């Protein structure tokens, strides 16, 4: 698949991301041509794209050259994209991601509290390290090794 297009492609399992810097109308047209080539490739190999799950994210200011289409259907533009469980917005900020992770951790904490109403400190530490801490640490680049020392 990456050999038939000019734009770079990132692949993970059945997830594909194609990207290109769009500065001119020619760049826009090249990306649209690459989308068309990928669609033709998918038809040839009978691997259908789920157009409803396809979207595009424009980083920085919108280019204003138009919409991208697959087989005559406009691809949805989005302000936030979820990639491998991490949410990134069009300004490369992670506010939506941190909010989502905090809500998920709080829900898990509530489930633990409701399920295990009477437990000691050591049990809580084990539950926290097993269920809540991995949610907080996934995709986090900060050093969290000191968390063990504070609990």
Q: Are 102 and 70 contained in the same domain? A: no
Residue 108 belongs to a domain: yes
Q: Are 67 and 108 contained in the same domain? A: no
Q: Which helix (H) or strand (E) holds 99?
A: helix 95-115
**Tokens 């994210």, located at residue:** 57
Domain that holds residue 141: 95-150
In the chain, how many domains are there? 2
Residues 6 or more apart whose Cβ sits within 8 Å of residue 21: 27
Residue 142 has pLDDT above 70, yes or no: no
What predicted TM-score, i.e. pTM, was given to this entire model? Answer: 0.71
Give the number of other CB atoms < 10 A from CB of residue 134. 11
Q: Are 65 and 7 contained in the same domain? A: yes
Out of 28, 43, 78, a domain closes at 78
Lowest mean pLDDT among 19-28, 31-40, 141-150: 141-150
Q: Are 13 and 60 contained in the same domain? A: yes
């Amino acid at each position: 698949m990456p050999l038939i297009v000019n734009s770079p492609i990132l692949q993970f399992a059945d997830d594909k991301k194609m990207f290109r810097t769009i500065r001119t109308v020619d760049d826009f047209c090249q990306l649209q041509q690459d989308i068309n080539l990928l669609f033709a490739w998918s038809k040839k190999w009978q691997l259908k794209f789920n157009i409803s799950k396809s979207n595009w994210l424009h980083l920085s200011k919108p280019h204003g050259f138009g919409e991208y289409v697959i087989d005559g259907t406009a691809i949805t533009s989005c302000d936030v994209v979820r990639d491998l469980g991490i949410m990134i917005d069009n300004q490369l900020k992670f506010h939506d991601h941190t909010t989502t992770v905090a809500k998920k951790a709080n829900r898990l904490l509530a489930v633990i509290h409701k399920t295990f109403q009477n437990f000691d400190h050591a049990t809580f530490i084990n539950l926290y390290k097993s269920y809540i801490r991995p949610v907080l640490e996934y995709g986090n680049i900060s050093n969290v090794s000191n968390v063990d020392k504070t609990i």
